[in-house]
Amino acid sequence: MIQTVIQPSDSSDNDFRSWSRCIARPAREFPATTLVPKQGSVPTGLQGTLYRNGPARLERGGMRVGHWFDGDGAILRVRFANGMAEANYRYVQSAGFRVEAKQDRLLYGNYGMTAPGPIWNQWRRPLKNAANTSVITLEDRLLALWEGGGPHALDLDTLATLEKTNLDGPAGRLEAKEPFSAHPKRDPLTGDIYNFGVSIPGRNARLLLYRCDHAGRLLARRHFDLEGIPLIHDWVMAGAYLVFLVPPVRIGVLSVLLGLKSYSEAMTWRPELGTQILVFDRTRLDLVARGDTEPFFQWHFGNGACNDQGDARLVLDLARYPDFSTNQHLREVASGRTSTPARATLWRMLLEPGSARVHEQVEVSPRSVEFPTLPSAEVGQGWQRTYLSAHRIGTDTTAERYDTLACFDHAQDRFTEADLGDGRYPSEPIVVADADDPRQQWLLSVVYNGNEDTGELWIYNAAGLADGPVCVLALPHVVPLSFHGCWRPAH
């Protein structure tokens, strides 16, 4: 579905909130620029590079995309060294982006839209790889990720798009219709990278499992046939296991293939199916157990690990929605105005890996949250704190985007949040260790300041969110609300 561009008249318009201005116009690229603090100073122990990815262009030629997930991806790079910060920002030059830029109009279908024009356009034009969801760094390149296709390789410093990459290695390479999803996990002990993709060879989808080395070479791969065609966005590494929760969303792919609906429009909430649990052995990539539990939906997990009680159970954290209304809510984001309620809260699940039987599910906090994260050194292992984007108490969670940053301390059962003030919208928090003192951790978030219509980068002491930021850096231009990022320590 294509919509005309909607431009909010001003931030006081009751139909639009100030967050909508940051996605109302295409983002502007900027070259490497030294960032000037608006407040505080850059910690000298912050040594490395932050990368973030998100949809930065939601219209072209006077036409609006059909879903927030359809926007062209752009990468923000912020390099920290010696108490200074430098940033640059560039669009991923995918093949579809280049063709549309040349003709200055939307030409391709995507997650939430069919290709514009007559129906036969759906059959002769492939979906555009928007490269807009996440990033991961390898030794010599950055990968821009989109779950419906393969990764694009970018230069780590200039962000120049190099090529699409097939991860050629001892176990072969990615083929044209083998996606590499936007949620890889890196084992903090070995450096190996695990990921998945969902392919659709027929009436049933296929779950593809991958293991790559630290250089991105494919070391092992397996596949597992799924029931129907579900939507799987994220998964979790938990000790010796890879765990997938398959929500009861099914895609009527025939209507997509005929060009009658987009993938998003063809998705149906099927609560009678329940949530499927798939547990795989991390070493062999073999299925260990399959189970079922009650219906719910999740976009994102926080982490997973073996339970520290010594009973060999797995503990998982996730931002859980009661149903799939979140998809409609996120479609509305592209228009700058949301009216469909969609609220996730932080849940914890206790799971028996050998049988996939759920022992316990509990809501650990009633607050409205998303994008649960933690330091990369704790992925797949025991952890105490989950960091989140959240709504402040009293915020209209239907109409507003997330407007604060938070930390849930599981050991102390305590929810702590920052106070960014009104009209400021943070991205997913990224928590990194200080290069001089690894016990010191910093939380980084790109913030849209809707009061001034500016882009900023806020730095917090991760253990003291309530104390306010230690530094606020001004970005040269607005960076629209983004999805995911990563941190590359200085070498």
Q: Where are the domains of the chain?
A: 3-489
The mean pLDDT of 143-169, rounded to a whole number, is: 96
Question: In which band, very low, low, confident or very high, does the pLDDT at 356 lie, cut at 50, 70 and 90?
Answer: very high
Give the range among 37-41, 258-262, 337-341 with minimum mean pLDDT. Answer: 258-262
What is the per-residue pLDDT for 491?
77
Where are the extended beta strands (E) located within 192-285? 193-199, 206-212, 218-225, 236-238, 241-246, 249-251, 267-269, 275-281
Rounded distance between C-alpha atoms, residue 221 and residue 89, angstroms: 34
**Mean pLDDT of the chain, nearest integer:** 94
The answer to whether 437 and 420 have CB atoms below 8 angstroms apart is no
Rounded distance between C-alpha atoms, residue 221 and residue 195, angstroms: 10
For 42-98, what is each residue's pLDDT tens digit? Answer: 999 999 999 999 999 999 999 999 999 999 999 999 999 999 999 999 999 999 999
What is the per-residue pLDDT for 124?
67
What is the per-residue pLDDT for 1?
33
Q: How many alpha carbons lie under 13 Å from residue 238 in its C-beta half-sphere?
A: 30
SS3 254: helix
SS3 440: coil
Q: Could you give the dihedral angle defined by the CA atoms of residues 256, 258, 259 and 263, in that order, rounded to the nearest 10 degrees?
A: 0
For 162-212, what is each residue's pLDDT tens digit? Answer: 988 999 999 999 998 999 999 999 999 999 999 999 999 989 999 999 999
Q: How many CB atoms lie within 10 A of CB 191?
A: 12
**Res. 4: pLDDT tops 50:** no
The mean pLDDT of 325-330, rounded to a whole number, is: 98
Rounded distance between C-alpha atoms, residue 168 and residue 174, angstroms: 7
Range list of H helices, 231-310: 253-257
User: Rounded to 5 degrees, what are φ and ψ at 111?
Assistant: -55, -45
Quickly tell me which residue has 């007559």 as its tokens: 118
SS3 74: strand
Fold of 3-489: Methylamine Dehydrogenase; Chain H (2.130.10)
